[in-house]
Structure 1
C-alpha cells in the first residue's frame, strides 16, 4: 500500500493531447504570421497606416514601421514561448488579448469594407478581411481553450538554463529579423518588382485574356403605384422594362463584380517628366543599365538616408563618365522639394514623378535603388547596402560593356 502511494505521487501528470495540439498549431501559425510580416516590415507598416486612417489614429503614421516590427516580434515570441511551454500563464494572456484585438479589427474591416486586404500574412498570402476574420475566429476558439487550460502548460525541456537560452534567442531573433529587413530589404520579395521580373511584360494584357465581368443593378419605381424594385441589367433589357413608361430608373445603376477577370501584376506604374509627359515605356524598356533611385517622400529621409543618397549620387556620377547608363530619381515629392535637394547635392539623376503607391511596391526603402536592363529588374538595394563603384563595375557593368 505504501509503495503504491509513493508511486502515484511521483508519477508524472498525464499529457493533455488536445492542449498540446492546440499549442503546436497556434504557436506555429503565430510564428509563421510574424515571420512573413517581419520579412517586410515596411509593407506591414503601410497596411497599419490604412488601419490608423480608418480608426482616426493618424498621429501614429510616422511610427507605423516600428510598430509593425514590434507586433511581428510579439507574434513570433508568443508563438515560440507557447510551443516551448515557457511562462504559460503570461503567454496565454498575451495570446488572448492579441487575438481579441485582431478579431475585432478584421471584423470591423470586413463589415464596413474599409480595408481590402488584412495584411495578416503580408503580400505572400493575401487574404480578404472576411477570410482573415474566419481565420481569427478559429484561432480565438483554440486560444480560449489554451487560456482555460493555461495552468497545465508545462515546458517540454527540463533544463532551466536551456529554456532561458532559447527564450533569449527567440526574443533577440524576433526583433532582429524585422530590424534587419527594414534596413537591408526583405529576404524574399513577393512584389511584382522583384529581381528577375520583366516590368513591360507584367504591364501587358495577354491576348485572349478575359476582363472583369460586372452586373449592373437598377432601382425602378412605378409612377402609378409608387412600387419600387431592383433588377439586373439583363432583366431590365430582357423584360424590355425600358419600353414600359410606368417604370422609371431611380438614381444611378450600381455595379457588382460577378466574375474576376485577368488582373495585371503592375496596373498603376506611370512615370512622367516635369512637364507631365508620360515617359514610362522609354524608361522601363531602356536597353542599357538603368539606375532608378526611388524616394516616396524626400521630406521623410533622415540624415543617414540623405548621406546614403549622396553616396549613391556620387557613385553614379563617377560611373557615368565611363559607362553608357541612365540614372533617374523617381519620386512622389513636389518639384520644390526636388529642387531643394538638387541644390544641396547637385544631383546627377534625372527627375521623374511617380505615384506613391507603385513607388512603395518598387523597393522597400526611402531611398532605395533598382537596377534594370532591357526592362528586367537585375538588382535592388536599400539606402544602406548600395555597393561600391568597384563592385558595380565587376559584377554588372563590365559584363555588358
Structure 2
C-alpha cells in the first residue's frame, strides 16, 4: 500500500511540476511581472531584486520542469525531493502571505492559463506539500527507471530544451497565448458586461483621524463618530466580487480625451505597444518610422500605446522623429496586451488579427 501511494504521489507531483513549469516557461516575462509585485511595495519592499526578476523567473520555472522530470525518472531521489520540499515551502509562504495580507491577487502559478485566487493557490501548495512529504518519508520506494547514463542524458536534455524554450519566447512570442488579447479576440466585446452578470457588493469604508490615529468606520458608524474626528479618506471594500470582463482596463487617451472607441471602430489599425518608452528596445524603436510609412500607405491608422509620462513621450517622439499619435494606456494593461517592448498589434474593427515581436517585424502582414 505504501508503495502504491508513493508511486501515485511521484506521478502527481512530477506531472504537476512539469505542467506548471512549462506554462510559466511559455511566458517567463509574465511570471517576472508577478515577482516584481512581490519585491515591490507594499509586499516585501526589496527593490534591489526587481532588476533580476526575469533571471529569477527563468531559473525557477526551468527548475520546476527539471525537478518534475528528475522525480519521474527517479534521478538522485534524495536531492530531488529535498529540492521539491524547499521549493513548495517557499511557494506556500508566498501564497499564504498574498492571501492573508491581500496583496498579490494572483500568484501566477499557472500563468494566464488558469487564474487562482490567493487562497486557492495556497490550498494547492498545501496539497503539493502533503504529497511531497509522502515522498520524503518513503524515498526507499522510488527507484530509477533507467541506467545512470540514460538518466544523466534525460536530465541534461530537459535542462537544454527548457533553456531553449525560454530564450525563444523571450525573443519572440509565447508559443501559446493564454492572455485575453490573443489573436481572434474582439476587444470591444471582451469589455462588455452582460445585463444578467452578477454585480459586486461593495462596502464603503471611511477613514477618520481620532486623537491623532487613523481609524476605519463603516457607513453605519458615521452617525456615532467620536467628537473631533477629522475625515482622512474613503475606500471601497469588495465584499462579493461580481463579474469582471476578460478585458477591463483597456482605455486609450490623447491629451486627456478618450480615444478607445475611435481606435476600436477603425477598419485597419496598427498599434505599437510600448508600456515603457524609456525601457523600449532601441532597435525596435528605430524600425517604427519605416513601418509607419508602409502602414499609412496601405490605409492603416498608426499609433503608439504607452504608459509613459508626457515628458518621456515628447522626448522619444523628438529623438526618433515620430510624427504620429502616442496614446496613453495603463502600463499594466499594455503588459497584458503583449510582452515585447515594443511589439506590434494589428486590429480590424477592434479584433486582434496579428501580434508580432520587434524581432519579427518582417513577419507583419499589412
- TM-score, with length taken from structure 2: 0.87
Whole-angstrom CA distance in 1 between matches of 2:91 and 2:294: 50
The answer to whether residue 37 in structure 2 is matched with residue 58 in structure 1 is no
Whole-angstrom CA distance in 2 between matches of 1:208 and 1:116: 25
User: Of 334, 359, 364, which aligns to 2:309?
Assistant: 334
Whole-angstrom CA distance in 2 between matches of 1:343 and 1:213: 47
Task: Rate the CA distance shift 1:232–1:353 in 2: closer, same or farther, 3 A.
Answer: closer
The answer to whether residue 4 in structure 2 is matched with residue 17 in structure 1 is yes
What is the CA deviation profile of residues 9-53 of structure 1, one whole-angstrom value per residue up to 9, with x for unaligned ones? xxxxx9922221111110011111111111111111111111112
Match for residue 226 of structure 1? none
Provide the secondary structure at the position in 2 that maps to 1:386.
helix
Q: Describe how 1:99-248 pairs up with structure 2 within 5 A.
A: 99-157=88-146, 159-214=147-202, 248=224
- Give the deviation of 1:331 after TM superposition: 0.8
Whole-angstrom CA distance in 2 between matches of 1:295 and 1:169: 35
What is the CA deviation profile of residues 84-131 of structure 1, one whole-angstrom value per residue up to 9, with x for unaligned ones? 111111111111111111111111111121211121111211111111
Provide the secondary structure at the position in 2 that maps to 1:291.
strand
Whole-angstrom CA distance in 1 between matches of 2:323 and 2:354: 20
Whole-angstrom CA distance in 2 between matches of 1:160 and 1:88: 13
Task: Rate the CA distance shift 1:348–1:160 in 2: closer, same or farther, 3 A.
Answer: farther
Provide the secondary structure at the position in 1 that maps to 2:115.
coil
The answer to whether residue 364 in structure 2 is matched with residue 364 in structure 1 is no
The answer to whether residue 243 in structure 2 is matched with residue 262 in structure 1 is yes
| Structure 2 residues without counterparts, runs of 5 or longer | 207-216
What is the CA deviation profile of residues 335-383 of structure 1, one whole-angstrom value per residue up to 9, with x for unaligned ones? 3322332333222542111111111111111111111111100010111
Whether the 8 Å CA contact 2:270–2:295 is kept in 1: the answer is no
Provide the secondary structure at the position in 2 that maps to 1:86.
coil
- Give the deviation of 1:190 after TM superposition: 1.8
Match for residue 272 of structure 1? 253
| Structure 1 residues without counterparts, runs of 5 or longer | 1-13, 219-230
Task: Rate the CA distance shift 1:173–1:348 in 2: closer, same or farther, 3 A.
Answer: farther
Match for residue 221 of structure 1? none
Whole-angstrom CA distance in 1 between matches of 2:235 and 2:319: 52
Whole-angstrom CA distance in 2 between matches of 1:256 and 1:56: 24
- Give the deviation of 1:162 after TM superposition: 2.3
What is the CA deviation profile of residues 138-160 of structure 1, one whole-angstrom value per residue up to 9, with x for unaligned ones? 11122122123334432112x33
The answer to whether residue 362 in structure 2 is matched with residue 373 in structure 1 is no
Q: What is the root-mean-square deviation in Å for CA atoms of aligned residues?
A: 2.7
Task: Rate the CA distance shift 1:313–1:162 in 2: closer, same or farther, 3 A.
Answer: farther
- Give the deviation of 1:180 after TM superposition: 1.5
Whether the 8 Å CA contact 1:370–1:381 is kept in 2: the answer is yes
Whole-angstrom CA distance in 1 between matches of 2:87 and 2:274: 34
- Give the deviation of 1:313 after TM superposition: 3.0
Provide the secondary structure at the position in 1 that maps to 2:224.
strand
For these two proteins, the number of residue pairs brought into alignment is 351
Whether the 8 Å CA contact 2:99–2:122 is kept in 1: the answer is yes
- Give the deviation of 1:320 after TM superposition: 2.5
Provide the secondary structure at the position in 2 that maps to 1:16.
helix
- Give the deviation of 1:170 after TM superposition: 0.6
- Give the deviation of 1:161 after TM superposition: 3.0
Whole-angstrom CA distance in 2 between matches of 1:134 and 1:121: 14
- Give the deviation of 1:187 after TM superposition: 1.6
Match for residue 27 of structure 1? 14
Task: Rate the CA distance shift 1:217–1:270 in 2: closer, same or farther, 3 A.
Answer: closer
Task: Rate the CA distance shift 1:92–1:182 in 2: closer, same or farther, 3 A.
Answer: same
Larger gyration radius, structure 1 or structure 2: 1
Whole-angstrom CA distance in 1 between matches of 2:287 and 2:203: 54
User: Of 274, 292, 316, which aligns to 2:271?
Assistant: 292
